[in-house]
Every structure is written in structure tokens, then in C-alpha cells.
């Protein structure tokens, strides 16, 4: 989970075999958010910079575990990057487009009157 402000996070869901269950998306988390997953899986583990805000939010649900203090780092991607390099899986940077979950909205700073 990456913090996206308020009760929203950018997240993806993987199972214990590291297989994708739910692709990356921007989600607003409420107390019932994981109920559907918990019908299939025994527990849900939350970690990342966005998980810390749910420290006490799921206190009453012992099947949702929040792992505090996990810091996101590109260093965790080094093995994945090396594997792609070994397999000669390269991005064509001339045609690569970034993946944005939400549209970027430009705003102007409000002026404070004196």
C-alpha cells in the first residue's frame, strides 16, 4: 500500500504464492473493505507507507494484520530488474508511457489576503 492521502491508498493484492489477485488500483479503505477477500483467504496482511494509517483501524478484526514501519524502496525491485535483464526483457523507452492510476489535476495555489 502506498499512501494516497485521507483513507485512500494505491494498492495491489497478491496471494501467498505471490500471484496477482487484484491489480494495482486507487482504493478508499473502510472497515468492510477486505470482507470479500476474507471469504477466500484466511488473513490479509497490509504493509507499505499506506498501511501505517490503518494501525488501529482494524483492531477488532484479527484476520487483518497491519505491519507497521515498512518503508517503500526501489531496492526491493533489484532482483526483478535483474531477472528481466537476464531474460533480455527491455522496455522500448521511445514508446514507453507511464501508468497513472488517476488523472493528474493541476491546481493553482490560493492567494492569502492581507
Confidence of residue 114 (pLDDT cuts 50, 70, 90): low
Beta carbons of 72 and 49 less than 8 angstroms apart:
yes
d(CA 114, CA 103): 34
Give 30-80 pLDDT, tens digit per residue: 888 999 999 999 999 999 989 998 988 898 999 999 999 988 888 988 999
Amino acid at each position: 500500500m502506498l499512501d494516497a492521502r485521507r483513507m485512500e491508498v494505491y494498492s495491489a493484492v497478491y496471494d501467498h504464492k505471490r500471484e496477482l489477485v487484484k491489480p494495482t488500483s486507487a482504493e478508499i479503505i473502510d472497515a468492510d473493505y477486505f470482507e470479500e477477500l476474507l471469504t477466500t483467504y484466511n488473513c490479509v496482511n497490509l504493509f507499505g507507507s499506506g498501511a501505517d494509517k490503518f494501525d488501529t483501524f482494524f483492531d477488532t478484526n484479527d484476520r487483518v494484520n497491519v505491519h507497521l514501519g515498512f518503508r517503500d524502496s526501489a531496492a526491493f525491485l533489484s532482483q526483478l530488474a535483474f531477472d528481466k535483464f537476464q531474460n533480455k526483457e527491455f522496455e522500448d523507452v521511445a514508446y514507453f508511457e507511464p501508468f497513472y492510476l488517476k488523472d493528474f489535476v493541476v491546481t493553482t495555489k490560493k492567494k492569502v489576503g492581507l
